[in-house]
Every structure is written in C-alpha cells, then in structure tokens.
Chain A
Amino acid sequence: MNGLAQFTALNRLSLDLTTGLQAVYSAVPEILKHLKIRFLLTTALAVVLDYQLVDAATSDSLFRVDRINALVTVVLFSIAILLYTKWAKQGKSLFVRKIAGLDAVEEAVGRATEMGRPVLFIPGIQEIDEIETIAGISILGRVAKITAQYDTPLVVPVRYPMVLAAGQEVVEQAYVEMGRRDSYNKDIVRFVAGEQFAFAATVNGMMMRDRPAANIYMGAFFAESLLLAETGNAAGSIQIAGTARPEQLPFFIAACDYTLMGEELYAASAYLSREPIMLGGLKGQDLMKVIIVALIIIGVILMTLGSGELYRSLFEAV
C-alpha cells in the first residue's frame, strides 16, 4: 500500500470513528440528561474527537492530547484532596504521624527565650514563585506567632525583595494576631543580599556575632546549605531544617538537629495549624501516594515479565 492509499485509509477510518463518536456524542445528552456527569462526559468526548481529527490530519491540536495522563492525574488528585477535606469538615478524625522536627520548633523558640537570644529563620533562597518558598513563608507565620507570644527576638534574612514583602506581611499579621503589634518591627524581615554567596556570608556573620539560640531553615537551598548549617552548628544553635531538594538533605542531616525531608516541608503548615480542613489535604496526598505505589508495583511486575511497554507508555511525561 502506497503512502496516499495509507493516508486515505487512515482518513476514512478516522472519519468513521469521528462519525460514530459524533453519533454517540449526540445521543449521550438524551440518555444522561438528568445526570451530573454530563458536562464531564461532554468534555472528555470533545477531547477524544479532537484527538481523532488531529490524528487523521496529522496537524497540531488545540489540546495537548499527549498530556492526557497528567490531566487524569490532576483530576484524580484533586478529587482525593477534596474528598478528604469534605470528610474532615464533617468531623471525621484524621491521623497524622508525628513529625519530630516540627514538634521541636516550639522547644527551639522556648530555648531562645530562656537564653535571651534571637531566633533566626531563613525561608530558603529562592523567589516567591517557588512553592518551597511559599511553604517556608507559611511556617514563618507559625514561628512568628510563637516568638510574638514569648516576646523572643526574631530575625529573618531574605534574598529577594518579593519574599521580603511577603515575609513582612506574614510576620506583622502574626504579631497582630497575638496582640503584640507594638513588638513588631519592620526590620525583623530584612533583605541582606541578592547574590547566593553574599547572602550566605552575611547570614554566617550574623550567626557568629548575634549567636542565635535557634536557626530554622525552611525552603529551597542550594550550595550554601552546608555553609549555613555548619556555621550554625559551630555557633552552638539548635537547628531545624526542611527542604524538598534531595541533594541538600545529607548536608542538613549532618549539621542540624532535626531535618524535614521533602513532603514534610509542605505538610508543616497543616501539621502546625492542626486544622482538620488542612489535614484533609495531607490525607488526600497519602491516598495518591498509595495509588502511585500500587502502579509502580504493577509496572515492576509487567516489566519483569517483559510485557510492560504499553503500560510504561501510559506514564510518559511530555
């Protein structure tokens, strides 16, 4: 069969499929008129039809059909989180395991209060558009509430002006909520340097001069992680770190008293708040993890048996 004949056959097959799907598509609203899933089905069929047309014409599509696996994952994930959040709202008790590093935050601030020395908090060295930085800022709010409560000095050096603005807002709000508006000082959160190693040098200097009783590192860190953590260790501070970067974790583990690994950083704000609605999000995440583990086990079995290529292609990221 030559190329033209192949194309004609493909085109005809696609046309048949499209006509068939269009027939189903037009019949479905009648059948499912009163069902809530009508909208979802319509969207799904539109995507399928689009895919068929694109396949025949070999032109580019409005939808990224190659990313349909990611869309399914997003939908599943959203459903899992919303479901657990709903159950949490209804008062269902949710178990969340203990995270020693987060339990130690209050202890660290208490130590600083007893010693009359400041708490140093670093929300990572990335911009505010980084989710790790947002997680760090969320934890900063909790830490600021504790320092405001005990009237302990807090110092927050940042590397980006946008993080500065967000940090100042969060800390001010925490002090206001704890009824310590008068203790709030705009310079608690301060911009120290825009360059990575200039930032590390400044913070190291602060550690050695001010000798903070507790150093809390929460966010995205890179090569400066060990420079900061080792200096803090040498200064005799109690240190709690949290990052989602696996390559920096060994450094923090070696130099800090407690380390939050990966997902624990993102769970911190929910864990510290103990609000059932936020804990619901964590449980939804756990359900997704169980699904992923099951999918990995199925994949390992299929690949071991030598018939997992199709299965693997379903998960290819584009």
Chain B
Amino acid sequence: MRTIVPVIIAFLSGFVMVISFFFNPDRAFIGRIESEVLVWVTIVGGFTLLLGVVSITRVNWHAVQSKKEGWVYNLLTLLSIFVMAIPAILPSSWSPLLGRATGSIYDWLFFHVDYTMMATMFAMLAFYIASAAYRAFRARNPEATLLLITATLVMLWRIPMGEAFLRLFSDNLPWLFSDNLPDKINTYIMSGANVAVQRGILIGAALGAASMSLRIMLGIERTYMGKG
C-alpha cells in the first residue's frame, strides 16, 4: 500500500500535467489544471515550513547542548531564527517595530544584516573563481593547454582592458586587425563551438529529464521513495 498509492498519485499527477499541456486553458478546465496544481504545491510547501523550523531548531539545539565544536555558531543561528521570526509574526498595530513593514525590526535586520551577508557571500565568488580558474587553466596536458589558449583569447577580447591591450599591436600586426580577426575568432568560439556543446548537453539533459519523468509516471522508477 505504501508503494502503490504514491505510484498511482505520481501517475495521475504526471499524466494530467502532460495532457493539460495540449489543451487550451481558455476552452478546457484541464488546460488550467497545471496552474491549479502549482498553487496546491505552494500551499503544501507553506505547511511543510514548520518541519523546517523544527529540524533547524532540533539540530542546532543538540549541538549547543553537547557543546559540539563551533557550538557558538549554532547558538547564533538559533537566536537569529527567533529574533527575526518573533517580531515579524507579531502584529504591527502593537508597535511600528513589529510586523514586516519598513522600519520594523524584521525589515532592519533583513536589509542591514541578512541582505549584506548574502551579498558578501556572493561577492566572495570572485576569489573562488580565481582559484578555480588557476587550477583549470594549468597547462598540464595538450587539452588543458588548448583550454588555456582559448580562454585567454576569449577573455582578452571580452574585457575592455584586453581589447585595448590587443590594439597596441595593431601597427605591428595589421593583418590581424584588418579583417577584425580576433572578434571573428571570439564569436566563433562563443557562438559556435561553445553553443554547440551547450546545446548538446541541454538536449541530453532534456531527454534524460523526460525519460526519468516517464519512468516515475509509469512506476518503473521508485527510488525517489527509497524503493528499488
């Protein structure tokens, strides 16, 4: 029963979603069913949020209790959850600091703490890209050397400083610039070779996703339920 019922639900949900794609939403209810189901997903998602709060509280509380390495961070996480959530839940009619309107505690914490920390994390990506690029572009073998040369050419022509650098040689290498050769090479790499590979991966991924969806709908694939 624990296997058959989810398989039937998966089949019906998948089948209805596929069929609704081929019907006109203005003429048939089945055509609108996709958006209806997505609303249900949002509603169910809202209820499961409580599961998330319970999980994060339990994990961090256990870490604080057992004084696990870095338990201070767990304590900060717990404090953050409740300091953000409680004033946001309380009605703003009690105090302008409550609720989620501009000037509330929640609003201040979001824009001055949460938002800035997230921006910091995103900004750190630049350093991570530099270290990953160093590792990727090391000329260890012919393929890596080719990658290095290609990346250098593309980067030189894609940033203003690189373009200015290449133009320094325009007097010495007129043949290179007479027909805008660097631009043509760049366009060929990015819009030719690069796009072709990306589309190849996308076609494969789309077929893989469709195949997996079909396997789930037909009950062949049940590993997402921990079966098989």
Chain A residues proximal to chain B, CB less than 8 Å? 60-64, 67, 70-71, 74, 77-78, 81-82, 85, 127, 129, 131-132, 134-135, 137-138, 141-142, 160-162, 164-166, 169-174, 177, 186-187, 190-198, 200-202, 205, 209, 223, 226-227, 229-230, 244, 246, 249-251, 253-255, 261-267, 269-270, 273, 275, 277-278, 280-282, 284-285, 288-289, 292
B118 near A191 (CB under 8 angstroms)?
no
Tell me whether B55 is interfacial, beta carbon within 8 Å.
yes
Tally of contact residues, B, Cβ under 8 A: 67
A187 near B62 (CB under 8 angstroms)?
yes
Can you name 10 A-B pairs with beta carbons within 8 Å? Answer: A81-B211, A129-B41, A134-B216, A161-B48, A161-B50, A162-B44, A170-B224, A197-B117, A262-B205, A267-B208
Tell me whether B221 is interfacial, beta carbon within 8 Å.
yes
Cross-interface CB contact of B28 among A62, A244, A246, A281, cutoff 8 Å: A62
Q: Which residues of B contact A173 (CB under 8 A)?
A: 225-227
B24 near A63 (CB under 8 angstroms)?
yes
Tell me whether B1 is interfacial, beta carbon within 8 Å.
no
Given contacts A165-B51, A192-B56, contact A171 B132 (CB under 8 A): no
A270 near B52 (CB under 8 angstroms)?
no
Given contacts A67-B22, A164-B51, A267-B208, contact A190 B221 (CB under 8 A): no
B207 near A263 (CB under 8 angstroms)?
yes
Cross-interface CB contact of B56 among A190, A250, A269, cutoff 8 Å: A190
Report the separation of the CA atoms of residues A46 and B85 in the bound assembly, to the nearest whole angstrom.
56
B132 near A255 (CB under 8 angstroms)?
yes
| Nearest chain A CB to B80 CB, angstrom units | 10
B35-85, CB < 8 A from A: 41, 44-45, 48-53, 55-56, 58-59, 62, 69-70, 73, 77
A278 near B221 (CB under 8 angstroms)?
yes
Q: Which residues of A contact B53 (CB under 8 A)?
A: 191
Which A-B residue pairs are the 10 nearest by beta carbons? Answer: A173-B226, A266-B208, A263-B208, A262-B205, A161-B52, A197-B121, A244-B205, A161-B48, A138-B223, A263-B204
Complex: chain B residue closest to A193, CB-CB: B56
Tell me whether B228 is interfacial, beta carbon within 8 Å.
yes
Among A186, A229, A254: residue with most chain B CB under 10 A: A254
| Nearest chain B CB to A80 CB, angstrom units | 9
Report the separation of the CA atoms of residues A230 and B45 in the bound assembly, to the nearest whole angstrom.
31
Report the separation of the CA atoms of residues A288 and B210 in the bound assembly, to the nearest whole angstrom.
11
Q: Which residues of B contact A162 (CB under 8 A)?
A: 44-45, 48
Cross-interface CB contact of B24 among A64, A70, A227, cutoff 8 Å: A64
| Nearest chain A CB to B13 CB, angstrom units | 10
Cross-interface CB contact of A191 among B31, B55, B133, B201, cutoff 8 Å: B55
Report the separation of the CA atoms of residues A141 and B23 in the bound assembly, to the nearest whole angstrom.
36
Known: A262-B202, A285-B208. 12 other contacts (CB 8 A): A62-B27, A64-B31, A70-B21, A77-B210, A127-B41, A186-B58, A197-B117, A197-B121, A198-B114, A198-B121, A226-B129, A246-B197
Tell me whether B179 is interfacial, beta carbon within 8 Å.
no
Report the separation of the CA atoms of residues A302 and B80 in the bound assembly, to the nearest whole angstrom.
62
Q: Which residues of A contact B216 (CB under 8 A)?
A: 134
B221 near A281 (CB under 8 angstroms)?
yes
Cross-interface CB contact of A190 among B45, B55, B114, B224, cutoff 8 Å: B55
B203 near A289 (CB under 8 angstroms)?
yes
Complex: chain A residue closest to B26, CB-CB: A60
| Nearest chain A CB to B43 CB, angstrom units | 12
